[in-house]
Amino acid sequence: MTQQNHSSAGPGLPTFDSLAPFGWSPAHAEAFRTIASPGCEPGRVVAASRGLVLAQTALGECWAVPTGRLRERLQRTGLSLCSGDWILLQANPGPSKASVVELIPRGASLTRSWTGAGGGSQCLAANLDVILLVMGLDRNFNPARMERLLSLAWGSGARPVAVLTKRDLNPQWEAFTARIEGVAPGVRVQAISAWTGEGLEALPELLPEGRTGVLVGSSGAGKSTLLNALMGSDVRRTREVRASDGRGRHTTSLRELFLLPGGGCLIDTPGIREVGLCAEGSDLDTAFSDIASLAQGCRFRDCTHGAEPGCAVQAALAEGAIDPDRYGHYLRLRREVAFEAARSDEHLWREREEKWRRISKLQKSFKKR
Ligand SMILES: Nc1nc2c(ncn2[C@@H]2O[C@H](COP(=O)(O)OP(=O)(O)O)[C@@H](O)[C@H]2O)c(=O)[nH]1
Ligand SMILES: [Mg+2]
Ligand SMILES: [Zn+2]
């Protein structure tokens, strides 16, 4: 990322055409021209964690860290960089990492919002055209979860498509597919098998060159296996364990955003794996809006509506203003959401830890040379 050997629309007006497969458009080029400073170039985040990003630039991959100024601004607005983001990069002298100087405003994105004190939200994947809602036709099958994933996807602005995996495992896959069609009116539902390849041929046309999709679904749904099948090689680790040595299949990529052989980009992040569950917190408040709005009147912001003083929900219960059964159902669901959130955070944390430990090891070995 030191020279500028990309194509040029004229002196000093690079167009970065080699980024077109990654979704770089004339509109992006226009935005770039208005905000770019001399010597900076665009890139797309293909992996991000704790302020360190791996970016795809016109010249290839590079590591970058946000400048102090950008970091401050992101913190102030509650944003953090995520896969799919378009950014402006500035090369630094010597072997040091490039700097991220700017975040280009996002298009359709997948976000999860934090309930509880402070609120805020976290972007999981940015600048999306398609959201693939992935669910297995095995034990993973759950129409109610598909409904929740759909509401999350509709909110994003990108087009949802339901992908039912492991069709080879279910002789009644057509009946199961029809059930999902029933809860997803107007949404394309595609049953596939990453193992036999059945139904896979329909996916590339959903992601033509320059478009970006993201895989969303619960753990074990088959997202990474599907990505590997579409890529034609094992680029992402799956749950598969080799019988011979008990170790996972060999994958080295830290990437979360991939360029598909037939065009289009596809994002698979460990964070998104659990998004269906995380989305349930806010969905719960929508489904139980009567209780949620009562809760606004509780004295404590983090009221659990148990034995706390000044609880508006308990008061309403005592007055018979809420149905006790409905309230019991709400409490049960809320416990489930809290449990799943804690579990997925822990899972996520461990996965990320391991990933970034490998990176720092790699960087140390570079320094030694
Ligand atoms: N039989 C069969 N198994 C699959 C298929 N797709 C995924 N699996 C298995 O389902 C498990 C979870 O897959 P994985 O891709 O890791 O799920 P992820 O957590 O959504 O990324 C693995 O054991 C896969 O081998 C499929 O099409 N057919
Ligand atoms: Mg996976
Ligand atoms: Zn309360």
Placement of tokens 């809602």 in the chain? 133
Residue nearest to atom 28 of ligand 1 (CA): 166
Residue 43 lies in a domain: yes
The answer to whether residue 282 is domain-embedded is yes
Minimum-distance ligand 1 atom for the alpha carbon of 169: 1
Tokens of 245: 């040595």
For the chain, the residue count is 369
CA distances 308 to 122, 292, 312, Å, are 30, 16, 10
pLDDT in tens, 312-351: 988 998 888 888 877 877 777 777 666 656 655 556 556 6
Q: Which atom of ligand 1 is nearest to the CA of 194?
A: 27
* Number of domains observed in the structure of the chain: 3
- Token pair belonging to 254: 């830290």
Q: Are residue 89 and residue 183 in the same domain, yes or no?
A: no
The answer to whether position 7 is within a domain reads no
The percent of residues above 90 in pLDDT, for the chain, comes to 37
Amino acid at 310: G
Q: What is the mean pLDDT of residues 293-316?
A: 83
3-state SS string for 138-150: CCCCCHHHHHHHH
Q: How far is the CA of 224 from the centre of ligand 2 (A)?
A: 4
Q: Do 145 and 291 sit in the same domain of this protein?
A: no
Spell out a b/e string for 326-349, using b for 16 or more CB atoms within 10 Å of the CB, else e.
ebeebeebbeebeebbeebeeebe
Q: Give yes or no for residue 1 having a pLDDT over 70.
A: no
All residues with CB under 5 Å from ion ligand 2 = 223-224
CA of 219 to the centre of ligand 1 (A): 9
- Please indicate whether residue 344, judged by its CB atom, sits closer than 6 Å to ligand 1: no
Domain boundary among 105, 121, 150: 105
Domain that holds residue 237: 112-271
Range in 71-85, 115-129, 139-153 with the lowest mean pLDDT:
115-129
Chosen domain end from 237, 271, 305 = 271
CB of 221 sitting under 6 A from ligand 1:
yes
Q: How far apart are CA 317 and CA 75, in angstroms?
A: 40
The verdict on residue 202 lying in a domain is yes
Q: Is 279 in the pocket of ligand 1 (CB under 6 A)?
A: no
Q: Domain with 358 in it: what CATH number?
A: 1.10.40.50
Q: Are residues 214 and 352 in the same domain?
A: no
> Looking at residue 243, which CATH number applies to its domain?
3.40.50.300
Å from CA of 351 to ligand 1 middle? 18
171-195 pLDDT per residue, tens: 999 999 999 999 888 899 999 999 9
C-alpha to C-alpha distance for 165 and 208, rounded to whole angstroms: 21
**Boundary of a domain, candidates 64, 89, 105:** 105
Is position 12 within any domain? no
Does the pLDDT at position 243 exceed 50? no
Same domain, 132 and 194: yes
Asked if the structure places residue 79 within a domain, the reply is yes
